[in-house]
Amino acid sequence: MEEFKDRLVQLRKSVPMTQDALAARLGVTYQAVSKWETGSCYPDVTLLPKIAAVFGTTVDYLLGGGEAPAQTASVEPAAEATPVAIDVDVPGDLEIRLFCKGRQIADAKVNGTVTVRVLGRIRDVHGFTNLVCDDIEGDADVGGSLDCHGDIGGDVSVGGSLRLKGDIDGDVHAGGSVECYGEISGDVSAGRVTAGEIGGDVSATEVAAGEINGDVSARTVRMRKDAEEKD
Q: Count of alpha carbons within 13 Å of 95, Cβ hemisphere only? A: 2
Q: Are strands 103-104 and 99-100 parallel, antiparallel or unpaired?
A: antiparallel
Q: What angle do CA 162, 168, 173 make, to 5 degrees?
A: 45
- Residues 50-81: tens digit of each pLDDT: 998 888 888 888 888 766 655 444 444 333 33
Backbone torsions φ then ψ of 91, nearest 5 degrees: -80, -15
Residue-range domains of the chain with CATH:
4-62 (1.10.260.40), 87-223 (no CATH)
Strand residues in 87-228 grouped as ranges (E)? 87-88, 99-100, 103-104, 115-118, 125-127, 130-133, 140-142, 146-148, 156-158, 162-164, 172-174, 178-180, 183-184, 188-189, 192-195, 197-198, 202-203, 206-209, 216-217, 220-223
| Rg of the chain on CA atoms, in Å | 25
Residues 12, 123: Cα–Cα separation, whole Å? 35
Backbone torsions φ then ψ of 204, nearest 5 degrees: -160, 170
- The model carries a pTM of 0.53
The list of the chain residues with pLDDT below 50 reads 1, 71-85, 227-231
Q: What angle do CA 169, 174, 179 make, to 5 degrees?
A: 65
Helix, strand, coil percentages (3-state) for the chain, rounded to 5, are 20, 25, 55
Ramachandran category for residue 96: left, alpha or beta (phi over 0 → left; psi -120 to 50 → alpha): beta
Residues 89, 118: Cα–Cα separation, whole Å? 6
